[in-house]
Chains A and B, each alone.
Chain A
Amino acid sequence: MTAAASAAAGVLALALLPFALSAFHVGVATEILIFALLAMSIDVLAGFAGRTPLCHGAIFGTSTYVVILSAHAIPLPLAMLAGIGAAGLLALLFGVIAVRTSGVYFLLLTLALGLIVWGVCLRWTAVTGGENGVRGDLRQGWLADARALYWLVLAAGTVLAAAMWRLVRSPFGLTLRGIKDSPTRMQALGHDVARHLLLAFVASGLFAGAAGALYALYNDFVSPTTVALPQSVEGLLMAIAGGVGTLFGALAGAALLIGLELFVSAWTERWPTVLGLTAILLMIVAPEGLVGKAGAIMGSRRSTGGIR
């Protein structure tokens, strides 16, 4: 089966999923799709440009805030575009500041930038409602139906995921990989490293913003926790759990973390412990992530088969 055919089969299977699930589980699946998009947008930077950001929760949440706030004044599709635009602008600003650093400095700088957004949302009470957040009124008409929203998110997610896939496979994406491996060599070859990274940062921010806009539809409520550090960390963890540099592994990572939290918390209030232990176990057994590990196992089978 070609890659395109298996991707089509995957999307079809996901599209049929709501028929097998209760309304509540369709909601959970919607959340998984949205967070998979966030994790993928992080993977574009972390897995393909070698820059691990800790501010994508803030970019994601900024879009959510803008959508919910502006939807009171303008039609919903425009509000969502405004949210994505705001995320893009924020990513541009962050990118200008951060792209000339790398490694742990990039990590810390993006962390600090994300915290500024959180601080603004917490303190700018007149606009953001402070700690109490903003209540939306977006789930009206056909959007109130859990399945309809799921299909909308799936359709948008498929387009966005395909765009990200195209991006990382394009000559631009290959240049990013070159920068990941050796920035100095790419510079010597005549590539403008900072500009490539800035473009990648903005693209990644736009994708995170799109996920945030969809989250506004799903959650219909936003508060500073949506832009807080744990959100960025969770997105990164999903990308890592799925497999950094696999892009679509993010879906597996999101499904694992959200599913685990939901089902374990039904059984024990010690669910954060279980989640933590799972993360540790995963890092020991499959540091390349779920999809990365699966790919490695299949790859080694194929190669041993070849030797025989």
Chain B
Amino acid sequence: MNRRTLLLAGAGGLAAPALVRAQGTGPIRIGLLAPLTGVVASGGREIVEGFQMYWESVGKRAGGREVETTVEDDASNPDTALQKARRLVEQANVHFLFGNLLANTGLAVANYVRNTGTPYFIPVIAADDLTQRSRIPNVVRVAGYSASQFSRPMADWAFKQGWRRVATVSQDYTFGHEQCGGFTQKFTELGGRVTQQFWHPLNTADFSPYLGQLANAGVDAVFAMETGADATRLIQQYNSFGLKRRIPLMGSMNATDQSVIRTMGTEAEGVVSVAHFAEGSTNPATQAFVAEYEKRHQKLPSLYGFSHYSGALWVAEALKKVEGRAEDRDALLKAVRETELAGSPLGETVRLDGYGNPVYTAYVRRVERNARGQLWNVPIATYPNVDQFWSYEAEAYMRQPSYSRSFQGVR
């Protein structure tokens, strides 16, 4: 063999794995990015639990092929998330990416996959504009929600309670700005008034400066947009300041999520929020899922676990349609977009709107104790067909600026 044929043989050897891959043999490789360290590590672990629970329940197979998941820690940091996404795509050769929790980690990865074309599914990245003003064709919010989606029905419900003056208190970052924006715009348009908006830094230990002002604000109710430990502290301190008896408290869906209330006591009871998932629903599909989740993980499912379980289910359905050809990105993305998910724990059929965001029945939920004394969210009212624009016309809505501290939808 002379040098040239040796080189050719080498080139053939290099090309061969690519050919095999194109034919679609071997396992479907999924890259799951989750914050296992850093500020939102507990939520990150529930992402992995929910995601793995689905795949284990179906024997780790989809569309006739084995499914292999590689989990990477994004460290709650966008730069790390980006580095890990590169590793999953360029080194582990995953067919698609899943996950992330914090909006900034998701946006960083979304910007990266825009160039590689890798499908990226984001069940808990809620940043409005990823399915609105700056959409990326290969980024789909399967089983997720956009930030302002459920705070609009919350505003409508609040108005129906006869409340006309409401104050908001929120973590000062985009997720908070967007949720409060949805609430404020809707509530104002209905004829109510958002009299004050308090924005506090993430990880606020002491809410007394805000609670003191809320006590004298003369409002009918308070809307609190909080996640994680901030949610726990706000609800506790709201109670110990004696405000809970005087002014009804509404929360964002995250404020009364299982990840927050499972360690709390009476102070959380009675807080109202709106979401597409309510673990205290009497729907048999929901109850079956909640029971199974509790059996496996000894706790009630949070939104993180639920969303990634459903997200995995969603993509598995699409994989079935394309007969497991995860290599064919366009076909897979098309199948995902067209899937109408019937068997999800929500017990209703869920589909995506034309912009890649799901449409749900929204539940107004109240924190109550179940028969075993656990706190959970029980539906008390429903709003059918809530999509990310709800009562607005999509294109007209997107001509208004994104929600921010300075723009809350009120002109």
* Minimum Cβ distance to chain A for residue B280 (Å): 31
Given contacts A132-B127, A225-B78, contact A262 B83 (CB under 8 A): yes
Which residue from chain B places its CB closest to the CB of A125 in the assembled complex?
Answer: B404
Given contacts A125-B174, A131-B174, A132-B127, contact A262 B87 (CB under 8 A): yes
- A137 to B111, alpha carbons, bound, how many Å? 8
Chain B residues contacting A146 (CB-CB under 8 Å) are: 90
- A202 to B295, alpha carbons, bound, how many Å? 61
Quick check: is A299 within 8 A (CB to CB) of the other chain? Answer: no
Q: Do A125 and B91 have beta carbons less than 8 Å apart? A: no
Cβ proximity bits B79-95 to A, threshold 8 Å, 1 near / 0 not: 10011101100110000
Chain A residues contacting B243 (CB-CB under 8 Å) are: none
| For the complex of A and B, 6 pairs with smallest distance between CB atoms | A24-B90, A131-B173, A135-B111, A24-B91, A269-B36, A221-B108
Interface positions, chain B 138-191, Cβ under 8 Å from A, are 172-175, 177
Quick check: is A151 within 8 A (CB to CB) of the other chain? Answer: no
Chain A residues contacting B177 (CB-CB under 8 Å) are: 125, 130
Q: Do B405 and A125 have beta carbons less than 8 Å apart? A: yes
Quick check: is B312 within 8 A (CB to CB) of the other chain? Answer: no
**What are 18 A-B pairs at a CB distance below 8 A?**
A25-B91, A125-B174, A125-B405, A131-B103, A131-B174, A135-B108, A135-B134, A219-B79, A220-B115, A221-B82, A221-B111, A221-B112, A223-B108, A225-B77, A225-B104, A226-B79, A269-B36, A272-B37
Quick check: is B335 within 8 A (CB to CB) of the other chain? Answer: no
- A219 to B36, alpha carbons, bound, how many Å? 22
- A31 to B90, alpha carbons, bound, how many Å? 15
Cβ proximity bits B195-239 to A, threshold 8 Å, 1 near / 0 not: 000000000000000000000000000000000000000000000
Q: Helix, strand, loop or mixed for chain A's interface?
A: helix
Which residue from chain B places its CB closest to the CB of A140 in the assembled complex?
Answer: B115
* Minimum Cβ distance to chain A for residue B92 (Å): 9
Q: Do A24 and B86 have beta carbons less than 8 Å apart? A: yes
A contact set with B: CB distance below 8 Å: 22-25, 27-28, 31, 122-123, 125-126, 129-133, 135-136, 139, 144, 146, 219-221, 223, 225-226, 262, 265-266, 269, 271-272
Quick check: is B400 within 8 A (CB to CB) of the other chain? Answer: no
Quick check: is B57 within 8 A (CB to CB) of the other chain? Answer: no
- A157 to B307, alpha carbons, bound, how many Å? 44
Q: Do B78 and A221 have beta carbons less than 8 Å apart? A: yes
Quick check: is B107 within 8 A (CB to CB) of the other chain? Answer: yes
Cβ proximity bits B285-315 to A, threshold 8 Å, 1 near / 0 not: 0000000000000000000000000000000
* Minimum Cβ distance to chain A for residue B301 (Å): 21
Q: Do A130 and B174 have beta carbons less than 8 Å apart? A: yes
Q: Do B103 and A132 have beta carbons less than 8 Å apart? A: yes
* Minimum Cβ distance to chain A for residue B326 (Å): 20
Q: Do B107 and A132 have beta carbons less than 8 Å apart? A: yes
Chain A residues contacting B2 (CB-CB under 8 Å) are: none
Which residue from chain B places its CB closest to the CB of A228 in the assembled complex?
Answer: B77
- Selected from B36, B90, B108, the residue in CB contact (under 8 A) with A27 is B90
Q: Do B107 and A133 have beta carbons less than 8 Å apart? A: yes
- A135 to B112, alpha carbons, bound, how many Å? 9
Q: Do B79 and A135 have beta carbons less than 8 Å apart? A: no
* Minimum Cβ distance to chain A for residue B257 (Å): 20
- A133 to B87, alpha carbons, bound, how many Å? 22
Chain B residues contacting A265 (CB-CB under 8 Å) are: 72-73, 75, 84
- A28 to B79, alpha carbons, bound, how many Å? 12
Quick check: is B263 within 8 A (CB to CB) of the other chain? Answer: no
- A146 to B90, alpha carbons, bound, how many Å? 11
- A220 to B175, alpha carbons, bound, how many Å? 22
Which among B72, B77, B83 has the greatest number of chain A C-beta atoms within 10 A? Answer: B83
Q: Do A133 and B90 have beta carbons less than 8 Å apart? A: no
Which residue from chain A places its CB closest to the CB of B403 in the assembled complex?
Answer: A125
Quick check: is B406 within 8 A (CB to CB) of the other chain? Answer: yes
Q: Do A23 and B90 have beta carbons less than 8 Å apart? A: yes
- Selected from A24, A27, A144, the residue in CB contact (under 8 A) with B115 is A144
Chain A residues contacting B82 (CB-CB under 8 Å) are: 219, 221
Cβ proximity bits B115-128 to A, threshold 8 Å, 1 near / 0 not: 10000000000010
Q: Do B111 and A130 have beta carbons less than 8 Å apart? A: no
- A7 to B62, alpha carbons, bound, how many Å? 54
Which residue from chain A places its CB closest to the CB of B175 in the assembled complex?
Answer: A131
Chain A residues contacting B37 (CB-CB under 8 Å) are: 269, 271-272
Chain B residues contacting A144 (CB-CB under 8 Å) are: 115
Chain A residues contacting B115 (CB-CB under 8 Å) are: 139, 144, 220
* Minimum Cβ distance to chain A for residue B33 (Å): 12
- A126 to B407, alpha carbons, bound, how many Å? 10
* Minimum Cβ distance to chain A for residue B58 (Å): 25
- A265 to B74, alpha carbons, bound, how many Å? 10
Q: Do B86 and A27 have beta carbons less than 8 Å apart? A: yes
Which residue from chain B places its CB closest to the CB of A215 in the assembled complex?
Answer: B79
- A137 to B269, alpha carbons, bound, how many Å? 47
Given contacts A22-B91, A126-B404, contact A223 B104 (CB under 8 A): yes
Chain B residues contacting A271 (CB-CB under 8 Å) are: 37, 73
Q: Do A31 and B111 have beta carbons less than 8 Å apart? A: no
Q: Do A223 and B174 have beta carbons less than 8 Å apart? A: no
Chain B residues contacting A223 (CB-CB under 8 Å) are: 78-79, 104, 107-108
* Minimum Cβ distance to chain B for residue A168 (Å): 29
- A134 to B104, alpha carbons, bound, how many Å? 9
Chain B residues contacting A24 (CB-CB under 8 Å) are: 86-87, 90-91
* Minimum Cβ distance to chain A for residue B299 (Å): 19
Chain B residues contacting A219 (CB-CB under 8 Å) are: 79, 82
Which among A123, A126, A132 has the greatest number of chain B C-beta atoms within 10 A? Answer: A132
Which among B78, B173, B175, B177 has the greatest number of chain A C-beta atoms within 10 A? Answer: B78
